[in-house]
Amino acid sequence: MSELEVQATLSRGERSRSRGRRVTPFEVLAVVVALFLLVAGLLPGLLAPGDPLGIDPAAAFQPPSPAHWFGTDESGRDIWTRVVHGAGTSLVIGFAATAIGLGVGLVLGTIAGMLGPAVDFSVNRLLEVLFAFPGLLLALLFILIFGPGVWTATVAVGLSASPGYARIIRGQLLAVRRSSFVEAATVLGRTRRQLLLRHILPNTLAPLFVLGTLGVGQAIVWASALSYLGLGAQPPAAEWGAMLSAGRTYLTTAWWMSFFPGLVIVLTAVAATVLGRAIERRARYA
């Protein structure tokens, strides 16, 4: 290869890395949404000082206005206040369910990738059986056994997402296990435990941050779907899925009761996806 061709190849690589690091308008908007949700989750009174459960029958079914930005519900509760205060519950559910899913997936993926072909075959068959069921159906089966509730729904969502995480982690672990530095450590006499803790897991866990970012949005959507079905948070809790469910009865007369909680759910899921993809792209071009 000539010097000019080498320079052209290096230039193309540099331009590709530059594009990979470039901040897009969608990423800026995703960061703004994430910061809003973070403030709403940690300091809801700063954005909405009212009581999310306080009723005012005289103000029932008020449309969006300067006094009530998102309108009011059938009991006169301010929907903006309820949406802001519901961010904490939804974020806790999303992060907790993602942590449960990643934890179970890490255990299953590590067992499959480290304990030999027979164990790998058995774990893969188990994962295939779980993949035969839609994720929400697994969550519904779990809730059917243990009963509805916020924490039951959280565990159910986490467990239903774990097979996907387990398969990704297993693939990543097997790729790292075949790498040259692991082979070198094996030649030097490192035990399986040392290989796992010092060489394989540290290089396998890096992509989990991206998986977790993407998984939070999915977990919030699934948990909201369960609350919408009456299997998660129960009314009058200020939780987005429960609010969405409460508003469906009044869609023709008070559309704002369902529109704004649904809009926040969508924005949260989109923001989590955009941020996860951005982190993945920057990691690739680092």
Per-residue pLDDT tens over the stretch 33-45: 999 999 998 999 8
Cβ neighbourhood burial of 60 (10 Å; 0-12, 13-18, 19+): middle
Q: What domains sit in the chain, N to C, each tagged with a CATH number?
A: 94-231+250-284 (1.10.3720.10)
Residue 16 has pLDDT above 50, yes or no: no
The pLDDT of residue 4: 42
The pLDDT of residue 72: 92
- The set of residues, in sequence order, having a beta carbon less than 8 Å from that of 49 and lying 6+ positions away, is none
Dihedral through CA 170, CA 281, CA 160, CA 157, nearest 10?
Answer: 140
Residue 133: C-alpha distances to residues 23, 87, 155, 157, 158 (Å):
38, 30, 17, 13, 15
Instruction: Name the DSSP letter for residue 235.
Output: T
The pLDDT of residue 21: 64
Residue 9 has pLDDT above 60, yes or no: no
pTM, rounded to two decimals: 0.81
User: pLDDT for 126-148, tens place per residue?
Assistant: 888 888 777 778 888 888 888 88
Residue with tokens 């955009």: 274
Query: Is 138 or 195 the better-scoring residue by pLDDT?
Result: 138
Cβ(108)–Cβ(226) below 8 Å: no
User: pLDDT for 249-276, tens place per residue?
Assistant: 888 889 999 999 999 999 999 998 888 8
Section 39-65 average pLDDT: 89
The pLDDT of residue 12: 52
Q: What is the mean pLDDT of the chain?
A: 82
Section 153-170 average pLDDT: 87
Cβ(273)–Cβ(217) below 8 Å: yes
Residue 33: C-alpha distances to residues 26, 52, 69, 270, 271 (Å):
10, 21, 18, 10, 7
Residue among 221, 219, 226 at smallest CA distance from 144: 226
The pLDDT of residue 285: 58
| Per-residue tokens: 247 | 């508003």
Residue 27: C-alpha distances to residues 98, 211, 249, 286 (Å):
22, 17, 36, 18
Longest C-alpha distance within the chain, in Å? Answer: 81
